[in-house]
Amino acid sequence: MYRIKKSDIVNIAQELSKEYGIFGPYIDRDAGQVMFDRLDDLSQIDLDAPIPAIPPKHVIYPHSECILKYSYDPTAKKAAIERIHSEKPKALFGLRSCDLEGIRVLDRFFLGQEFVDEFYLANRKKVFIVSNTCVKPFAQCFCACTDSGPSAKEGFDLNLTELGDEYLIEAGSEKGKAFAEKIGLAKAGDEYKDKKKKAIDISLDLFTDFAVENKAWVSRVTNRVTTGFIKEEIWEYIGNQCFECGACTFVCPTCSCFNIEDVNIGSGATERIRSWDSCSYEGYSKMAGDHNPRKPVEDRRNKRFFCKLSYSQSKKYLRPGCVGCGRCAWVCPGDIGLPNVVTYIRREITK
Amino acid sequence: MTYKPGICTFCGNGCGHFLKIVDGRPAGVFPSRNHPVSRGRLCVRGWNIHELLSTPQRLTDAMLRKNGGLIKVSYDEAIAQVVEKLKKFASDSPDALAILASPRSSNEEHYLLMKFARAVLKTNNIGLDSESGHRASLEVLNAGTGFAGMLGSAGAIAGADFLFVLDFDITKQNPILGSELHMARRAGAFMVTLDSRTTQIAKLSDVFMMAKSGSNKVVIAALAKILIDEGLADSAYIQKYTTGFEGFANLLGSLSYDDINTKTGISIEVLKEIARKLVSSRRAMAFYPSGISGLDVETIGFLFNLFLLAGKIGINGSGINPVTGLNNLQGGYDMGVAPDVLPGFQLLEDPKAHAAFAKAWGADIPTKKGRMPYELLSEKSSKLKALVVIDHDEGIVRYADRLKELEYIVYIGAFENPFTEFAHAVLPIASYIESEGTYTNTERRIQLSAKKADPPSGILPGWRLVCELAKKAGASWNYASPADVMNEIAAVTPPYSQVSYEKLRKSFGIQWPCDTQNPNGTEYFSADTSTKKLSFYPVKADYSIPTVSTEFPYQLMIGKAQHFWHQNNLMRLTKIPLREYNTTLLLFPEGYVEISPDDAKSLGVREKWPVMVKSHAGEMKAAVKISGEVRSGTAYIPYFIQETISKFLLEHREVLARGEDATIPVKIEKV
Ligand code: SF4
Ligand code: SF4
Ligand code: SF4
């Protein structure tokens, strides 16, 4: 364990920037919104800012990215294929623990199964992670119910916890430890363990009743979702509110669906683009010959909650598919973000 | 920081977003949580707009038609030819030249194009594509209130307690506005939908009236009649704020309750309930689509009058609200892109307005109002010879035969477009993120969109191209930037008089009127601050509805943009939205005709079976789509598969002109 004066925290980013491109939370001046993105001016990093509107997943799994280029020269009768990937070193600086859990879920999806997704791997390979404990939760947070916060337990290289005018810094990997030693961070004594525990307890107390109460409910709802004991009407009601916009997928730190398209860029060359896709879109689950296992919108909606809240899915991710960030509630035009869906289902259970 | 704040310019909502730019190329989107219209939401189109903006299918060279083919030439060469030809046709005869502007252009581009037409080419034959419905709205609203735009605003919807949705699949067409309606409904607002098809908003409504097709106007007139007969009209309000009540009240006399029932199929009790809810509400708002598939003037007139009777125009955010489908349709009208109006909806034939513009521009402008490009195209006897088209939409292909006869067609646009086949000259321009510009959304919000990427090498932004055309034609225009153009717009457009780029940069847009009384804009129209009395719109006592004969027993509805892809040409350049569009199109590659299960049974047809749809004037083949969403006796054909139905529709042009709920009597035969 190490510590650093709060006002010096940017020095760590500075040091990291010698080796890594720095991505961190900042407030966009024009729109007044917290974003998480590449920063050249490190003084813009704002570790106190509320959780960023955009989950950092886009850094390793971009909204759209070219993964392959190929071309055919008809006169020379030659084809050329070029695989596009980059292993640029990146540091995610000041990522919240829900978002770190999100990346860990994506890791299991893209890397931890039968096939390894090489493009994801390339983006993910040289990533240095500095997580940031939420010493107070934000209005929409419920990580306390989904076992993903307020402080990261693993998966980071360094983890920061604000304690008064200092940050406690824990190393979670050899890489993290080596870095901390290299830059000569001051050691923190054992008393800091207690201090951190207190800070987390205070944070947990600050979660809204909704989040705290829901703790048991998330698991009960998971039970229901898994066993299928949810009335059709509930899904139908939810389906009737859905705009099929895809927002809930795009803002979810754990959603991984993608689309692949070959785009002809002229003069015989083609780019293969991978981009975010969503289970809420009718075309997403459509198959040849007009078969669609999930044609009615409510079937597509319950699919989402099955993915976030069912045991079978949790087995794959080694945790619930929802990390409690609350973003889907922000962006849903139909107001059927995951917290609300849990509420609808629990209302049904209590009836 | 690769995410740059901006606005979505697909539809008239004008939602706020961030566009991700990587190596100068759009590569992602994210919603803007503080944006007052969208507050963190985007629809399927908005979430995928980067796919359009990064398409390689761009126009990147000026081209002229030589020996039958389009040949790449320099901008200068193309501009020189275009100007020479346009000047020649403009002086040929008043009807020889027309300019079809795009409801997607920025205000600055609109303004300059309009000025170029009037002050340089001396023609008033300029109009917007897909405009008919919105024009009808502005007509009624301007006559009734002097406010030629949506009376309410998006932010006021959540606080409404009475919502009336007319012929509007709002959650598909303008989803984020639809989301506000959802919210108001959940908060307890009483919601009424009038539609001939079942939409999501219809399912969520307290009352869904599936009136017989073509009877919308009668339903609205019936509500007005009930307000008067039941003593529910707000007489204090009528007295204080309005003129023309007597005339309107008299004209409702000829509508009988028996008639209402048989013509609309809606029970009087239901109508009475709605009337009571309307008058007892605090904030009542009506929404209907405005654009290619809008309502006609008479229906809008009745709606406006109904709301006046109820005391719900300009009180506490109440009013009727046309919703624009295309991002800058409102701005186009604000900028005077119409044959008979000047910026700020000032009438061209008003000598004072005319003189003011002639003076401001230091140029003569033709005094007689012009003609709509579509009118000139459809009128077989018109002397139209040359046409300028900006960013064309589907509609114009209806006139393919006529287009082939024209002597000269200029196409100006950012993206590849099948319409260039018809063009003699093609002038490429930058896309909206490659230049600064302002766009006015459906609730009159003027928003500045910053430049976020460079145009393809050598390509001019639209505003600069128009300047170059004007200069080549001998005008001494000297605009340094879009901000400069806005300064001139502010000087000549009363509702924009206090707008400046400086102000816009510091805001999420300003809702006009933005003048000395309202320097920060106006959220909604207020009867109290209105300078004139509100007047009942002079509608006609025509309560006839289309009747079916034994020969043609079905009412065919066309066009309602049930598919939110009414911007096909752009959608075709995307991937995911295109796929969504295709999920319908692939199933019915030749288009479909939607009929009720009962009708399918009596015709003896099943899903996807081919049928002939025949009217007195023409016929077409289509596949059957069976759905509970249309009532028996009604058949529905989506306009979006225009390739199939354009020929058929060509024979029924007058029906299209009548607006959204106009129908064609047809018979359907199994083949
Ligand atoms: S489901 Fe919603 S709350 Fe849960 S992780 Fe995804 S976006 Fe966050
Ligand atoms: S964000 Fe809401 S409306 Fe959009 S697809 Fe998801 S559930 Fe449906
Ligand atoms: S509602 Fe309109 S402006 Fe908003 S995201 Fe969708 S297309 Fe764009």
Does residue B276 sit in the same domain as residue B401?
A: no
Type and span of the H or E element at A217: helix A209-227
Structural contact between residues A318 and A136, judged by C-beta atoms closer than 8 angstroms: no
- Rounded to a whole number of angstroms, the distance from the CA of A315 to the nearest CA of chain B is 30
CB of residue A282 inside a 6 A radius of ligand 2: no
- Which stretches in chain A have pLDDT values below 50? none
Is the CB–ligand 1 distance for residue A321 below 6 Å?
A: no
Across the range B462-474, mean pLDDT stands at 97
Tell whether B501 is covered by a domain: no
Name the B residues in 185-224 with CB < 8 Å from any A CB: 186, 200, 203-204
Nearest-Cα residue of chain A relative to residue B18: A31
Choose among B520, B518, B563, B494: nearest CA to B36: B520
Phi, psi of B215 (to 5 degrees): -110, 15
Statement to judge: residues B110 and B139 lie in one domain: no
For B145-159, how does the pLDDT look when each residue is reduced to its tens digit (9 = 90+)? Answer: 999 999 999 999 999
Q: Are strands B162-166 and B284-290 parallel, antiparallel or unpaired?
A: parallel
- A330 interfacial to chain B (CB closer than 8 Å): yes
CB-based contact A333 B178, cutoff 8 Å: yes
Three-state SS for B285? strand
Tokens representing A315 are: 């087995």
Q: Which residue of B has its CA nearest to A23?
A: B1
Final residue of a structural domain among B443, B463, B493: B493
Report CB contact under 8 Å: B176, A333: yes
Residue B417 or residue A194, greater confidence: A194
Q: What is the pLDDT of residues A55-92, one digit of tens each?
A: 999 999 999 999 999 999 888 889 999 998 888 999 99
Whether the Cβ atoms of residue B26 and residue B433 lie closer than 8 Å to each other: yes
Instruction: Please tell me the predicted confidence (pLDDT) of residue B439.
Output: 98
In a domain? residue B510: no
Same domain, B431 and B296: no
Predicted complex ipTM: 0.94
Among protein residues, the one with the nearest Cα to ligand 2's atom 8 is: A242
Is it true that the peptide bond before B455 is cis, omega within 30 degrees of 0? no
- On whether residue B44 sits in a domain, the answer given is yes
Q: Check if A328 has its Cβ closer than 6 Å to any atom of ligand 1.
A: yes
Mean pLDDT, all residues of chain A: 89
Q: H-helix or E-strand containing B329?
A: helix B329-334
Q: How many CA atoms lie within 13 A of B593 on its CB side?
A: 32
Give a yes or no: residue B524 inside a domain.
no
The one-letter amino acid at B631: R
B158-196 per-residue burial string, b: 16 or more CB within 10 A, e: under 16: bbbbbbbbbbbbbbbbbbbbbbbbbbbbeeebbbbbbbb
Give the pLDDT of residue A268: 84
d(CA A228, CA A222): 10
pLDDT in tens, B283-323: 999 999 886 556 888 999 999 999 999 999 999 999 999 99
- Identify the residue among A245, A295, A340 best suited for mutation to test binding to B, counting B beta carbons within 10 A and taking the highest: A245
Cα of A324 vs centre of ligand 1, distance in Å, is 5
Alpha-carbon distance of B149 to B141, in angstroms, equals 7
CA distance B391 to B326: 12
Whether B313 and B373 share a structural domain: no
The residue whose CA has the least distance to atom 2 of ligand 2 is: A332
3-state class of B597 per DSSP? Answer: helix
Looking at the CA of B570, name the nearest ligand: 3
Q: How far apart are CA B444 and CA B416, in angstroms?
A: 30
Cβ-Cβ contacts under 8 Å, B55 against chain A: 263
pLDDT tens string B494-522: 999 999 999 999 999 999 999 999 999 99
Tokens of B241: 């704020």
pLDDT at B392: 74
What's the confidence (pLDDT) of residue A253? 96
Q: Does A139 touch chain B (CB under 8 A)?
A: no
Q: Between A265, A277, A333, which is nearest B179 by CB? A: A333
Closest atom of ligand 3 to CA, residue B41: 5
Pairing mode, strands A2-5 and B619-626: unpaired
- Give the per-residue pLDDT at A213: 67
| Residues in B 38-77 with any Cβ partner in A closer than 8 A | 40-44, 46-47, 50-51, 54-56
User: Which residues of chain A have a CB within 8 Å of the CB of B176?
Assistant: 333
Query: Residue B224: which of B261, B274, B283 has the closest Cα?
Result: B274
State the Cα angle at B497 between B494 and B503, rounded to 5°: 150
Check whether residue B100 and residue B215 sit in a common domain.
no
Token output for B452: 């976020």
Residue A300 alpha carbon to ligand 2 centre in Å: 10
CATH code: domain of residue B22: 3.30.200.210
Question: Does residue B457 lie in a domain region?
Answer: yes
B512 inside domain? no
Q: Check B3 against A37: CB less than 8 A apart.
A: yes
- The whole-number pLDDT of residue A16 equals 96
User: Would you say the CB of residue A248 lies under 6 angstroms from ligand 2?
Assistant: yes
Q: Which of B128, B133, B130, B132 is nearest to B166 (CA)?
A: B133
Nearest ligand to residue A141 Cα: 1
**One domain, residues B567 and B653:** yes
Residues B59-71 as b/e (b if ≥16 CB within 10 A, e otherwise) read bebbbbbeeeebe
**What CATH number has the domain bearing residue B658?**
2.40.40.20
pLDDT at B647: 64
From B20, B31, B179, residue closest to A63, measured CB to CB = B20
Cα separation, B124 vs B367, in Å, equals 9
Rounded to a whole number of angstroms, the distance from the CA of A336 to the nearest CA of chain B is 11
Contact B172, B335 (CB under 8 A): no
Is the pLDDT reported for residue B275 higher than 60? yes
Q: Side-chain half-sphere of A27: how many Cα atoms within 13 Å? A: 8
Distance from CA of A193 to the nearest CA of B (A): 36
Q: Is the Cβ of B176 closer than 8 Å to some Cβ of chain A?
A: yes
pLDDT at residue B351, rounded to an integer: 94
Binary contact (B1, A37; C-beta < 8 A)? yes
CA distance B154 to chain A (A): 14
Ligand 3 shell residues, CB under 6 Å? B 8, 10-11, 13-15, 38, 42-43, 45-46, 174-176
Structure tokens at B224: 């007005």
Which residues lie below 8 Å from residue B66, measured CB to CB, with a gap of 6+?
Answer: none
As for how many domains chain B has, the answer is 4
Same domain as B136, residue B10: no
- Domain end, chosen from B470, B493, B516, is at B493
Residue B562: per-residue pLDDT:
42
Q: Where in the sequence is the domain holding B151, given as residue range(s)?
A: 132-323
**What residues does each domain of chain A span?**
2-350
* DSSP designation for B57: -
- State which residue of chain B sits closest to A287, comparing Cα positions: B583
CA–centroid distance, B586 to ligand 3, in Å, is: 25
Distance between CA atoms of B42 and A246, rounded to whole angstroms? 9
B509 to chain A, any CB pair closer than 8 A? The answer is no
For residue B538, pLDDT over 70 is answered with yes
Contacts of B174 in chain A (CB under 8 A): none
Domain assignment present for B504? no
pTM, rounded to two decimals: 0.92
Q: Give the pLDDT band of residue B578 (cuts 50, 70, 90).
A: confident
Q: Give the pLDDT mean for B30-52.
A: 95
The residue whose CA has the least distance to atom 4 of ligand 2 is A245
Q: For residue A48, give the H/E element and its range.
A: none
* CB contact (8 A) between residue A35 and residue B30: yes
Domain boundary among B473, B493, B513: B493
Distance from CA of A105 to the nearest CA of B (A): 22
Does any ligand 1 atom lie closer than 6 A to the CB of residue A55?
Answer: no
